[in-house]
Structure formats: C-alpha cells, structure tokens
Amino acid sequence: MKLRELAHSRTGDKGNTLNISVICYDAQHYDHLRTVLTPERVKAHLRDVVRGDVVRHELPAIAAFNFVLGNALGGGVTRSLALDAHGKSLSSALMDLDVEAPAS
Amino acid sequence: MTATQPQRRVRIGAGAGYSGDRTEPAVELAQHGALDYLVFECLAERTIAIAQQARSKDPELGYDPLLETRMKAVLPAALRNGVRVISNMGAANPLAAARKTAEIARSLGLGDVKIAAVTGDDVLDVVRQGDFCFVESGERVADYKDRLVSANAYLGASAIVDALAAGAQIVLTGRVADPSLFVAPLIHEFGWRMDDWQTLGQATVIGHLLECAGQITGGYFADPGFKDVPELARLGFPIAEVGQDGAVVITKLAQAGGRVTEATCKEQLLYEIHDPQRYLQPDVVADFSQVRVAQEAPDRVRVSGGRGTPRTDTLKVSVAYFDGYIGEGQISYGGPGALARARLALDIVRERLVLTGVETRELRFDLIGVNALHGETAAVGYAEPYEVRARVAGRTTSLAQAVQIGNEVETLYTNGPAGGGGATKSAREVVAVQSVLLPREHVTPAFSMVEA
C-alpha cells in the first residue's frame, strides 16, 4: 500500500535542509511505521533530490516522525535553480512510497 | 470579587503567514475575533535583503511593501476594538514603517496612537568586521565582503515586551524570530520570567503554531478524498486562547472557512523544525517532543506539553549577499509525442549554450509534468503525460549570459521541435542567504516610540 493511506505529511525548509513530517492517521500504526519507514528507505526513495544524510526524529506523543534531509535544496532556497526551490512538493513524493500493510 | 473567577484568557490572532498573504482574514479577525493582539509575520529569509536594497535607494523605504495596504485595512477595526498589532513588517526600516503607520493613522482620523519601532537586528557592520563562518557551508564571511547586502540577527521577545509595557498599541520590528512575535505579548500579559524555560517553551509552541496563519486552519493541508477542508476560498486565520500557565486552545471564527483539527495542528507543529527536542530560538531552546494535541470541540484543539531549556549564548544571523544571476526559459509541448519533442527541445538548448559560449556555473534541464519536482525516478511507472513543459535554468556570473539562456529557449519557436508554445523567459540577480552565529553581546535590541 502507499504511505499516503496511513499517514499525512508537510514539508518545511531551512537553508539547504529539508524536513518532512509523517503523521499517522491512526496512532496504532505508529509502531509499524517505526519499523518499516527507516531513514535509509526515505533516502532511497528521494535519492534524486537528497544529497545528504536523512535523520529520523520520533514523536510518539502525536504518533509522528520528523525526517530531516541534508543537502536537499540545491544549495538553499535563495539560490536554487529548482522549479520548487523550497522543496515544498516533496511531502507528496514521500506519500507515494510503497509500504507493507500493517497487521490490523 | 468572586471566589471562582474564571481564568483570564489572552486572545491572539495571526493576521498574515507571509509577506504576500491575503488581507481579508486579518480584517475579519480585527472585527469579530474579540482579540487582544493581532500579529502579522511577513518576513521571509530573503525579504529583508530585498528591503535593504530599497532602503539604500530611499531612506524612507525598506519596510514591507504591503504595510500601507494592511494597516489601512486593519487599523480602524483594531483600534476601535482595542486590539494591539505586532508585526515584523518593519523589515529593513522599522522606524520608517512606524512613521508611515502614524501617517496612515492620522489620515484615517484614528486619534492618538502609540507606535513603537524595534531596532537592533541590523548587525551588518559587526559581521563585516568580525571573523565569522557560515554555519552550513563553513565558508568564511570575509570571502564575501564585497558582495554583502545585509546581516540581521533574529531578536527575541524582550524589546517587544518593553514596547508593550510602555503602552505601544502597534509594534513594528525588523528581524525577530517568528515565534517571539507571539511570545512577547504573552510575556507582557502574564508577567512570565525570561528564564522560565518550561513556560517559554510552551509559548514558543503557540507562536510556532500561529506564525504561518492559515497553515493551521486548513490551509496547505487539503488533499481531496484524504484530507478535505471546507471553504478554502474564505479560509479563516487562527486564534489562540492562552491561559496564565501557557495552556492554549487553537480555534478560528465560526463564520470563516477552513477547519482546526488535531491533524492540522500536528502538521504545523512539525513545519520547518529539525530536532523537535532542540528547537533553537532566541528566547529559549524549545522542546516539542512531548507536545500533545486534543480536539475538545469542533474547530477547537487544545495543545499542551511544550517545554524548554536555557537559551544559547548566540543568536542566528541571516547574511545576504549577491550571488550571480539566474537565467531561465520555458516552453510547452502537447499531444502525441509531446514528451519526445520536449526532450529534443532540451537537447537542442544544451547544445546551443555550448555553441554560443554561454558560461554557466550550474545548469538544470527539467520536464515540467515529468521530473521537475521530484527527479527522474519518481516518475517511473507513471503514464506519459499529455502535455509537457521544457524548462532550462542556469547560474551565470553576468546578467547578459543569464538573458541568453532564456533566449535560447525562446528561439525554439522557429528553430526547434514542432508545436512548441507559450515560451517564457526571465533573468534575475540572485540574493542568497546563509547564516552565522553571533554572540549575544554584539546585539542590542531597543525600541523607540512614534506618536501619531
């Protein structure tokens, strides 16, 4: 199934660093996504865009993750040649990720 | 006096989430929000550098270009209803913004209005003379000496608090950390200590949730079939109802479009933050990791659990500098074979830029509709689009060469593949921004009062 069916997301930018939140619709899916949605997998999925490291921060109190993606904005919002210099549309790219369905 | 006096609430509204934001939602809040404060966050990373260029041409300019529009629209209702206004629309010239606002208040016959301008964020001289390195790239600022445009420290809440204590009804600032625009009136109202880190952490949560205005009331959220939002054309901006202990409910006007839900609050909580346990702010290092959200009624969400630890000894400074030019051109292809013709178009421009000797430091070839947003691999497995827009963008050291890039796209009309249409081109000078960290002792926030 697509990640989009389990979670929603918003992208933010600071300098040349991007963050993408992944927020479970149902808190019961948090542990499942914690297992399958590794930073390595996120980096592989967004490999055309992210040149740096991907770090995952965990927020169990709101059943969410915050992925921080280094060197992901073509040198930074203010100087990028990209059509979407802020990388704002990348949350939708992550929602297209195929993930294993949770047990329940 | 009664024994069970209800807890006092301060009501803060957000009037703008960026410099070009809609105007009517703020007017609606000033009229009907029963607000104590209306806060406009209008200053993006690069905005102040652009404003600085305007100021260098005219010393009475350099504030937000929409200041006049917003003030004229909002002040009559705000002042009538006792709503105090706080904004970073002062940009590169808060004093001129205050004088302009005083002029507007006079022209509207609004009576005596006390307007404060907060200064001290401009640290260009300090940065120019010191030995600093950019945080992300590690490059020395000194290597950029001849190209620097502006350097502004992210101030905290203190000077705004002082201005409010002195009776300011309107406070205009330059660069202030976005959440601090909201933290300041709460400190003023509730008398929180500037080293009450836990409370300042929760206050930062409140400011962070409000600073992008419509982004917490259903803006930038809708995804039809998954996340539906009613009446986005009449999206209402948020209101925070805050108690003495920092407890907060986020809500909106009943008649306004949009919605406030746990999901909208969570998305905004994580917007533009990195480590949620250490969100560095000038007033506090905020910890969002224990924050909880709870829907207590339709369009009413309680947000609790923000914490904090002591602030750091440095302030972030945005340093803007000229960084060459960007030239760009686009042209569209549609119908059968559109993708192949667009690819051919890009190949032609790639070769033309070599043949004509256009020197670029970086070049980018996009197929809008295919790979411009997320790269080549994202589109694998998706059907070929009916229409495609070819785009070429390049970085150059001269404006003339930037112009040539767009020209080479435009000449595809008569020299390129069949059926190209809708060509556009542009060339612009780049003002880039990087950050340095500046010890606090170099920065002296202050305010001065202008009376209308």
A46 CB near a chain B CB, below 8 Å? yes
Closest CA to A102 of A39, A45, A42, A34: A34
**Residue B5: band (very low, low, confident or very high) from pLDDT cuts 50, 70, 90:** low
Tell me whether residue A65 is in a domain.
Answer: yes
**Banded model confidence at residue B1, pLDDT cuts 50, 70, 90:** very low
What does the pLDDT average to over B157-178?
98
List chain B residues with CB under 8 Å of A82. Answer: 364, 372, 393
Asked if the structure places residue A68 within a domain, the reply is yes
Q: Which one of A26, A46, A71, A79 would you mutate to disrupt binding with B, by most B Cβ within 10 Å of its Cβ?
A: A79
**Residue A91 in this model has a pLDDT that exceeds 60:** yes
For residue A34, what are the domain limits?
3-95
CB burial of residue B361 (10 Å; 0-12, 13-18, 19+): exposed
Fold designation for B320-433: Alpha-Beta Plaits (3.30.70)
pLDDT of residue B314: 98
Please, where are the H alpha helices in B322-382? Answer: 338-355
Residues of B within 8 A of A49 (CB-CB) are 374-375
Contacting A residues, span 66-85, partner chain B, CB-CB under 8 Å: 66, 68, 75-79, 81-84
User: C-alpha angle with apex B211: B323 to B59, nearest 5 degrees?
Assistant: 50
Buried b (16+ CB within 10 A) or exposed e, A81-90: bbbbbebbeb
What are the structural domain ranges in chain B?
A: 10-120+155-312, 320-433
Local confidence band at A74 (pLDDT 50, 70, 90 cut-offs): confident
Q: Work out the percent of chain B whose per-residue pLDDT is above 70.
A: 98
Query: The domain that contains A87 carries what CATH number?
Result: 3.30.70
| Structural domains counted in chain A | 1
State the burial class of residue B226 (Cβ atoms within 10 Å of its Cβ: 0-12, 13-18, 19+). Answer: exposed
A104 within domain boundaries: no
Banded pLDDT at A15 (limits 50, 70, 90): confident
Nearest by CB to A19, which of B272, B326, B431? B272
Cα–Cα distance measured from residue B100 to residue B94, given in angstroms and rounded to the nearest whole number: 10
Lookup result for tokens 């300011």: B168
| pLDDT mean across residues, chain A | 95
Beta strands per DSSP E along B377-439: 387-396, 421-439
Quick: pLDDT tens for B222-252.
999 999 999 999 999 999 999 999 999 999 9
- Residue in B closest to A62 by C-alpha: B292
Contact across the interface for A62 and B435, Cβ inside 8 Å? no
Please tell me whether the interface predicted TM-score (ipTM) of this complex is above 0.90.
yes
**Kind and range of the H or E element at B406?**
helix B399-410
Chain A neighbors of B136, CB-CB under 8 A: 15-17, 76
The answer, yes or no, to whether residue B451 has pLDDT greater than 80, is: no
What's the rounded mean pLDDT across residues A46-70?
96
Min Cα distance B78 → chain A (Å) is 32
